[in-house]
Copies of this chain bind each other. A is one copy, B any other.
Amino acid sequence: MKIGLDVLGGDYAPDSTITGAIEAQKILQDDQRLVLFGDHDDTVERLKQAGADPDNFDFIHAPDVIGMHEHPTKAISQKPNSSIAKGFEFLKDGKIDSFSSAGNTGAMLVGSMFSVKTIPGVLRPAIATNVPKIKSGYGILLDVGANADCKPEMLNQFALLGSLYAQHVYGLNNPKVGLLNIGEEEEKGNNLTISTYPLLKENSSINFIGNTEGRDLFTDLADVYVCDGFTGNVVLKLAESFYVVTLKKGMKDDFFDRFNYERYGGSPILGVNAPVIIGHGISTPEAIKNMVLLSRDMIESNFIDIIKSAFN
């Protein structure tokens, strides 16, 4: 398999991306090749300086950078030699099996949808993220930002996408799906969740356990929490800020540690024709390493074929 990585994406690129790539490569099997998208000579030079053997990597020369605040659609079309545009070109042509980047999130979304394209039957892809459980392990929350406005049918699909992700990539058996809402009872909610509830209830492909609330997100009540991308994004950023507070206050705790995005590497875009993972802008080498390993897990699990079958 060929695992594509954007060497130029992220606030600390290329230092942290190359260091992360080196660490990941040590863990990968021989037939799992890392393909680095960035400035060829610079990347090779940096690998050598870090004591790594460039022969252990593949390289695609893509020296241009899409900045964090550039307009996604414009940037992708106007910078064909950017690491992100090149990555999606190769992913679309099947020359790599996954692509990940800690760069411009919007460009990653645009690249996924317009280049790799949405899987037939999927209305809209969703971005999933890990939410730590107080006891141990992780739950999945989606959508966390790809779709600010959603329809009930979309949330019903997110439930299946998240469920399959939890099951096949995270090994959770028969994952419990909860609708993130503002009351326990079926009739509670806003127009969106009230209309979504019956769809989830009738969806025989998921293990729907009913409504969940903000206070349930870190409990074992559900494994997959489904919401619109606006709510999910507010929740995600709020949760991150708590983690930052505990860090600043020097609080050490296993639960808080699991908020650390570095541990799980990144957030996949579920529902497109290839594994695509978005890393946090401030990704460290550890985060990059785990983003590569998550890419490997998504390829190994044949996750895309599973999604295709489910939505066929």
Residue ranges of A at the interface with B (Cβ–Cβ < 8 Å): 134, 145, 148-149, 180, 182, 189-191, 193, 213-218, 227-231, 233-242, 244-245, 249, 251, 253, 255
Inter-chain contact B242/A253, CB cutoff 8 Å: no
Question: What residues on B are CB-neighbors of A233 within 8 Å?
Answer: 182, 213-214
Cβ–Cβ contact B218 & A241, under 8 A? yes
- Contacting A214 at CB < 8 Å: which of B216, B241, B249? B241
B234 & A214 in contact (Cβ 8 Å cutoff): yes
> What is the bound-complex CA distance between A235 and B240, given in angstroms?
13
- Do the beta carbons of B234 and A148 come within 8 Å of each other? no
Name the B residues within 8 Å of A241 (CB-CB): 214-218
Structural contact, B238 and A217, CB atoms closer than 8 A: yes
| A190-B149, A242-B242 as given contacts; A235 in contact with B253, CB under 8 Å | no
Give A194's nearest chain B residue, CB to CB: B148
CB pair B253–A240 under 8 Å, yes or no, is no
Smallest CB separation, A90 vs chain B (Å) = 29
- Whether the pair A215, B238 counts as a contact (CB closer than 8 A) is yes
Taking CB atoms, residues of chain B closer than 8 Å to A213 are 233-234, 237
Q: Contact partner of A238 among B193, B238, B245, CB < 8 A?
A: B238
Instruction: Show 19 residue pairs from A and B whose CB-CB distance is below 8 angstroms, ordered by the A residue.
Output: A134-B245, A180-B234, A190-B229, A190-B230, A213-B237, A214-B234, A214-B236, A215-B237, A215-B240, A215-B244, A218-B241, A234-B234, A234-B235, A235-B235, A235-B238, A238-B238, A242-B242, A245-B255, A249-B253
Can you name 19 extra interface pairs (CB under 8 A) apart from A215-B240, A231-B231?
A148-B182, A148-B190, A149-B190, A149-B191, A182-B230, A182-B233, A182-B234, A189-B230, A190-B229, A190-B230, A213-B237, A214-B239, A214-B240, A216-B241, A234-B234, A235-B235, A238-B239, A249-B253, A251-B251
Cβ distance A81 to chain B, nearest Cβ, rounded Å: 27
Cα(A244)–Cα(B193), bound, Å:
26
CA distance in complex: A237, B237 (Å) = 15
* Closest B residue by C-beta to A148: B190
- List the 3 shortest-distance A-B pairs measured between CB atoms, nearest first: A214-B237, A214-B238, A148-B190
Cα distance, A164 to B189, chains bound together (Å): 28
Chain B residues with CB under 8 Å of A234's CB are 180, 182, 213-214, 227, 231, 234-235
Q: Name A255's closest neighbour in chain B (CB-CB).
A: B245
Chain B nearest CB from A181 CB (Å) reads 8
